[in-house]
């Protein structure tokens, strides 16, 4: 029965603008529809909040506030929010419609994917999260359901910050198992969320893409939560033999149970992913995933129930419509398939005819390769035991116990695995191997460290190039006066030359400004004289566009920056501000006033006051005369003489 036709919203026009054409998906918070914006004639996804939640005013307020915040996040790998509104009991978001599927769909159909495909999906996800983290957002609900893959191959992340408005952890449904599978330990234990919880979730998603299974499983949310708190995410190569240890390192770094041991945000994890990819060979990137894992999927991670494509009402896109246009409930959109080559339906292998089986059995008997012989021969093989994260001594003991020998021991640098710990083996853990064969171990040397080179006296450009050549990063540049080191050359580094630092560490550079030059005082001088004096001192001149009132004549230098007595480097610029001349102020009339009142009036108007008492005014207290008549203008700050009798 077509459930779409039973939905009361299908066929309606919300807010006089959005025509609801078909229901795409239904989640715990909202239902998502494919709709047409009748004003702009474009297809979009309309996420409509469930009426029960829409009745909660505080929830709706937060929903709207977070939607507005995410709408400002402009990134090609983030599902865009176009509009938000209400129509009666319906609260909705109008969002970009993505024709394609979710990463959950891919994992359900294919199980594990090749490392190249996993990294191709993870990198744009991290780019989107990195933009959000740098803008102050934390997704808080990263999982395959919220990773959309368009028909054209583009990857987008949906539902920034919205899903966490609803408390889903207390539920006991299978959907919650999917949600808790990606929660970081600090989310569970303290309820804290910062960018590192998204990093943790991405590490779990990477593990799931590489292995086809979740790292922690259980029959209830409590069992899964307990494992997040008390068990490390295992290395993917422990489940899928042949995966590179660099992929194990990526997963271990992202899913460290202690937040401080993870990359600080998605930008930092993206840098690690790209660095790891650069070390992988084509053979390692294109390693085929184990087909057996494709049958091990369940629906525990599905938070959203999806309306089958056959039950939706199709609407062909209009001319000029964007091919990538939408989102789903809780980030789900299953109205199209992944842009990669289609997966052939799984079919049970055809059973050989009985005559063929009889012929094969006869040949095996003749050759002495019957079932009993094969059983005996199978005892000559064993599997390489789990060795990752073990010390070299522990790995040797495990191999001896398994009846295997230790072959060559290689050493390699690792930023995430402690020195002396196994980071890889050949054959890989789980691989089938003959008894008493040897296994090559790769043991961590710890983080690679390099000496800080001596770049003193080199130009800034050469010093930066030398640091990069030695595996270090040029850091912050500060400048100081130095009489011995030429201007523009390096005085020293922080840390000092010869200090050992991890490869890739940033090294700060202190660059010389040359010998200091004392800046002369040119205030009050005409512009030409000031230019000459500053040029003689090795300084350049810039004239400010505006002018100021000052005690100096019009056109003279009223102010300078830096000022008199300051130190500057040769070639530095001094900014001069010219005078508009003194400000003219009307002089108060103080004749006949007492001396005290005259002082108050004149000084209040901005003048200096001088007294002329003479012999006759030694004991007087009345102003008989003033040097500038009352009502006449005089330069502000000039001196007015009062005669006292």
What residues does each domain of the chain span?
Answer: 3-98+320-328, 101-305, 356-444, 449-512, 516-578, 584-644
Q: Residue 343's pLDDT is what?
A: 36
pLDDT tens string 70-84: 777 888 899 988 888
Q: Residue 290's pLDDT is what?
A: 61
Domains 356-444 and 516-578 share a fold: yes
Q: Residue 84's pLDDT is what?
A: 87
Is the domain spanning 449-512 CATH 3.30.10.20? The answer is yes
pLDDT beyond 50 at 454: yes
Q: Residue 380's pLDDT is what?
A: 63
- Residues 6 or more apart from 262 whose CB is under 8 A from it? 196, 199, 200, 203, 253, 254, 255, 256, 269
d(CA 399, CA 298) in angstroms, rounded, equals 34
Neighbour tally for 424: CB within 10 Å: 25
State yes or no: cis peptide before 586, omega within 30 of 0.
no
326-350 as b/e, with b when 16 or more CB fall inside 10 Å?
bbbbbbbbbbebbeeeeeeeeeeee
pLDDT beyond 80 at 166: no
Give me 65's structure tokens. 């506030």
CATH code linked to domain 584-644: 3.30.10.20
**Residue of 306 and 29 predicted with greater confidence:** 29
For 323-389, strand residue ranges (E) read: 324-326, 381-383
Q: Residue 111's pLDDT is what?
A: 86
pLDDT tens string 533-568: 999 888 999 999 888 888 888 899 999 998 887 888
CATH code linked to domain 101-305: 1.10.510.10
d(CA 350, CA 10) in angstroms, rounded, equals 45
**Residue of 432 and 542 predicted with greater confidence:** 542
172: left (phi over 0), alpha (psi -120 to 50) or beta: alpha
Q: Residue 71's pLDDT is what?
A: 77
d(CA 43, CA 66) in angstroms, rounded, equals 23
**In terms of Cα–Cα distance, which of 65, 68, 72, 24 is closest to 47?**
24
Lowest mean pLDDT among 357-371, 455-469, 497-511: 357-371
Q: Residue 134's pLDDT is what?
A: 87
Q: Residue 43's pLDDT is what?
A: 92
pLDDT beyond 70 at 527: yes
Q: Determine whether 141 is an active site residue.
A: yes
Residue of 141, 159, 198, 330 marked active site? 141
CA 47 to chain centre: 26
Average pLDDT score, the chain: 79
* Bridge partners of residue 501, in order along the sequence: 450
CATH architecture for residues 356-444:
2-Layer Sandwich (3.30)
Does pTM surpass 0.75?
no
pLDDT beyond 80 at 20: yes
d(CA 385, CA 394) in angstroms, rounded, equals 11
Per-residue pLDDT band for 220 (boundaries 50, 70, 90) equals confident
**Residue of 272 and 612 predicted with greater confidence:** 272
**In terms of Cα–Cα distance, which of 145, 152, 117, 147 is closest to 129?**
147
Q: Give the mean model confidence (pLDDT) for residues 6-24.
A: 89
pLDDT beyond 70 at 601: yes
CATH class given for the domain over 516-578 = alpha beta
CATH architecture for residues 3-98+320-328:
2-Layer Sandwich (3.30)
* Residue that is written with structure tokens 């072959």 in the block: 407
526-541 as b/e, with b when 16 or more CB fall inside 10 Å?
eeeebbeebeebebeb
């Amino acid at each position: 029965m077509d459930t779409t036709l039973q939905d009361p919203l299908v066929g309606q026009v919300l807010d006089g603008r959005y025509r609801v054409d078909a229901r795409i998906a239904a989640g715990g918070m909202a239902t998502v529809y494919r709709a047409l914006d009748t004003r702009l004639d474009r297809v979009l996804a309309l996420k409509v909040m469930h009426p029960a939640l829409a009745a909660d005013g505080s929830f709706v307020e937060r929903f709207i506030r977070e939607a507005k915040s995410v709408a400002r996040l402009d990134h090609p790998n983030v599902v865009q929010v176009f509009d938000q509104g209400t129509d009666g009991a319906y609260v909705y978001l109008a969002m970009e419609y993505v024709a394609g599927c979710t990463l959950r769909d891919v994992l359900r159909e294919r199980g594990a994917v090749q490392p190249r495909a996993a990294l191709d999906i993870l990198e744009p996800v991290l780019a989107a999260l990195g933009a959000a983290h740098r803008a102050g957002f934390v997704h808080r609900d990263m999982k395959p359901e919220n990773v959309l893959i368009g028909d054209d191959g583009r990857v987008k992340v949906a539902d920034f910050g919205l899903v966490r408005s609803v408390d889903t952890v207390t539920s006991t449904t299978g959907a919650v198992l999917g949600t808790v599978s990606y929660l970081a330990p600090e989310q569970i234990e303290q309820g804290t969320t910062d960018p590192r919880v998204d990093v943790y979730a991405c590490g779990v998603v990477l593990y799931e893409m590489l292995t086809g299974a979740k790292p922690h499983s259980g029959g209830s949310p409590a069992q899964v939560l307990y494992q997040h708190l008390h068990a490390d995410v295992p290395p993917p190569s422990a489940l899928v033999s042949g995966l590179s240890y660099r992929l194990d390192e990526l997963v271990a770094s992202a899913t460290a149970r202690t937040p401080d041991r993870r990359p600080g945000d998605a930008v930092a994890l993206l840098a690690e992913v790209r660095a790891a990819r650069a070390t992988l060979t084509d053979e390692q990137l294109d390693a085929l995933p184990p087909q057996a894992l494709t049958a091990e999927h369940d629906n525990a991670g599905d938070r959203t129930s999806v309306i089958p494509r056959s039950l939706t009402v199709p609407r062909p896109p209009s001319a000029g419509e964007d091919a990538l246009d939408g989102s789903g409930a809780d980030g789900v959109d299953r109205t199209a398939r992944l842009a990669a080559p289609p997966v052939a339906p799984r079919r049970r292998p055809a059973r050989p005819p009985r005559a063929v089986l009889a012929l094969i059995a006869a040949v095996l008997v003749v050759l002495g390769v019957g079932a009993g012989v094969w059983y005996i021969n199978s005892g000559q093989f064993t599997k390489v035991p789990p060795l990752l994260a073990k010390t070299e001594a522990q790995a040797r003991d495990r191999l001896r116990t398994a009846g295997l020998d230790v072959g060559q021991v290689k050493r390699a640098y690792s930023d995430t695995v402690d020195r002396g710990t196994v980071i890889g083996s050949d054959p890989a853990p789980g691989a089938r191997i003959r008894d008493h064969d040897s296994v090559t171990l790769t043991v961590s040397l710890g983080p690679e460290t390099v000496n800080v080179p001596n770049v003193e006296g080199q130009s800034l450009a050469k010093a930066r190039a030398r640091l990069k050549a030695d595996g270090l990063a040029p850091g912050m540049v500060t400048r100081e006066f130095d009489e011995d080191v030429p201007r523009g050359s390096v005085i020293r580094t922080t840390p000092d030359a010869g200090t050992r630092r991890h490869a890739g560490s940033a090294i700060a550079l202190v660059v010389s400004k040359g010998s200091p030059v004392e800046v002369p005082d040119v205030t009050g001088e005409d512009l030409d004289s000031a230019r000459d004096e500053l040029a003689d001192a090795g300084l350049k001149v810039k004239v400010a566009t505006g002018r100021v009132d000052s005690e100096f004549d019009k056109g003279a230098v009223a102010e300078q920056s830096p000022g008199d007595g300051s130190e500057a480097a040769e070639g530095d610029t001094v900014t001069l501000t010219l005078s508009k001349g003194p400000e003219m102020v009307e002089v108060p009339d103080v004749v006949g006033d007492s001396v005290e009142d005259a002082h108050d009036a004149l000084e209040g108007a901005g003048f200096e006051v001088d007294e002329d008492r003479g012999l006759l005014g030694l004991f007087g207290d009345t102003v008989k005369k003033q040097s500038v008549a009352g009502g006449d203008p005089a330069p502000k700050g000039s001196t007015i003489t009062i005669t006292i009798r």
